[in-house]
Structure 1
Amino acid sequence: MLQCTPWKNFSCCTHETTSDAHKLKLYNFNFEHCPKKMSEECRKHFVRDLCFYECSPNIGPWIVKVNMKIRRERFFGVPLCQSDCDAWFSACVDDYTCTDNWARNFVWNSTGNQCPPNSQCMKFKDVFKTAKNFCEKVIAD
């Protein structure tokens, strides 16, 4: 549970939540929605992001209500350092996705999210082009 360690002593995050975050199993969201497995370096960034959102005691100001199938609230406009965004995108450039907007474009069913019809799995670098676009579309949107 190394990715959640920064919040270990400052939150009420449960072992189950941190375990699910490290397995990328929260909210029935499939991070590996394309056939090729996500690289370990890319995975670390997504796990750290989940741990931050689930375990940080300081996230309250960015909570907004939503009416989505997977949740009733989300975090919006949370600041992210450009250097963190660049490192995250760099770790994921050769990983695959089928959509540029993870908050809005997936098709949902009882097993979780799936690629939209007629979409094609492509490398992050071809879908997002830049770190800025990646962070705005995957993380912030």
Structure 2
Amino acid sequence: ECKGFDQIYDNGKDLCETMFGQAFKYETNEAAAYTMWFFDANNPNTATAQTLGKLPAGGHSSCELQYFHKEAPGPESDDFTECHPWKNNACCKGGTVETFTKMKESYGAEYHWDRCGPMSQECERFFVQESCLYECDPNAGLYRKYNSSVYDPRCDKYATGYDEAYSKANSCKMNTWEMLRMPIKASYCNAWYTACRKDRFCASAGGDFFSCAAEFKVVDLAAEELKKQLNSTLTDMAKLQTQVAQSNDGGSDGGLSVGAIIGIVVPSLVAIAGFACSCYLIRREKQGKPLFETLRDDREPSGGATMSYGNTQA
């Protein structure tokens, strides 16, 4: 379901600590917190990491997060403009963050941050900045959830060393891309909330991006299946049209009886109607305007409680 940011999140703290699961922590002591964007000649997050004892004086020798990331940070070319603050020392490849559209689409349609409708430029910019931090900043890797000291590839289903039997026996699930509680400046989180408060976002699990993506993936798969059914129905209808034409030409072979024609037409029309109805329901749900809402009795039963009938349709 889609709702306004100010309906999903209470404030900047709620936004930063909910939207990306446990990746970020709202930090009021800004001397001990990172920013998702900067204009300094040198990355201020590196100095913060050293102050917090997360990074030795020698700096970064590797990019701990691994998905589209490089093995080690380094400079990028002059056309590296979308995430330009990290141009001199980035963990991202230029092609990964070439444009904001490329960043939005890299992880699949279910992770498009504007699934609930176009966002204002001031709001969307914060999503771009967060993407740049995640993809490009070597300091983000210092908060990898399953860092090298605990990571076991036998527990990572995407790793070449994955061992399904071992993973099940030890109930372990790991990855190399997830972050855990990187402290972000409170002022940055508050600014994000202010910029986006009138925009719309997915409200699943209180506005958790990963839960939203899982729901959108189900919706997309259902839509794809309906599309296949419609294409199959249209193919059958085309065949029927050809056979009816043959019957009208007086040919005795290949003609269809009235019963056979009805047997094809009726299910086809039902399938088309079902497809149209499903598309409409999906569209309404994405807009945050579900067709079916919880029915409530306006009468006041004893105790002042409101009676509810049925369930809200998700």
* Structure with the bigger percentage of strand: 1
Match of 2:58 in 1: none
Name the structure 1 match of 2:240: none
Q: What's the % identity of the aligned pairs?
A: 29
Given the superposition, is the C-alpha separation of residues 43 and 80 from structure 1 closer, same or farther in structure 2, using an over 3 Å criterion? same
Deviations along 1:46-76, one digit per CA (max 9) or x if unpaired, are 000000000001222211249799xx42112
Residue matched to 1:17? 96
Distance 2:107 2:178 in 1: 12
Task: Judging by fraction of residues, say which structure has more helix.
Answer: 2
- Which runs of structure 2 are paired with 1:49-88 in the superposition (5 Å)? 49-65=130-146, 72=175, 73-88=177-192
Deviation >3 Å, runs of 4+: 65-69, 109-112
Which residue of structure 2 lines up, in the alignment, with residue 27 of structure 1?
107
Question: 1:3 and 1:76 mapped to 2: Cα distance?
Answer: 25
Calculate the TM-score normalised by the size of structure 2.
0.32
SS of the aligned residue for 1:97 comes to: strand
Pairwise CA RMSD: 3.3
Gaps of 5+ in 1: 123-141
Contact 2:202 2:209 in 1 (8 A): no
Please give the per-residue CA displacement for 1:100-134, whole angstroms capped at 9, x wherever unaligned.
Answer: 2212244125959xx9xx67638xxxxxxxxxxxx
Mapped to 1, the partners of 2:90 and 2:202 lie a distance apart of 34
Residue 105 and residue 68 in structure 1: after superposition, are their counterparts in 2 closer, same or farther (change >3 A)? farther
In 1, Cα distance between the equivalents of 2:143 and 2:136? 14
Greater radius of gyration (CA): 2
The aligned residue for residue 130 of structure 1 is none
Describe the shift of the 1:120–1:78 C-alpha distance in structure 2 as closer, same or farther (beyond 3 A): same
Aligned length: 115
TM-score, scaled relative to structure 1: 0.67
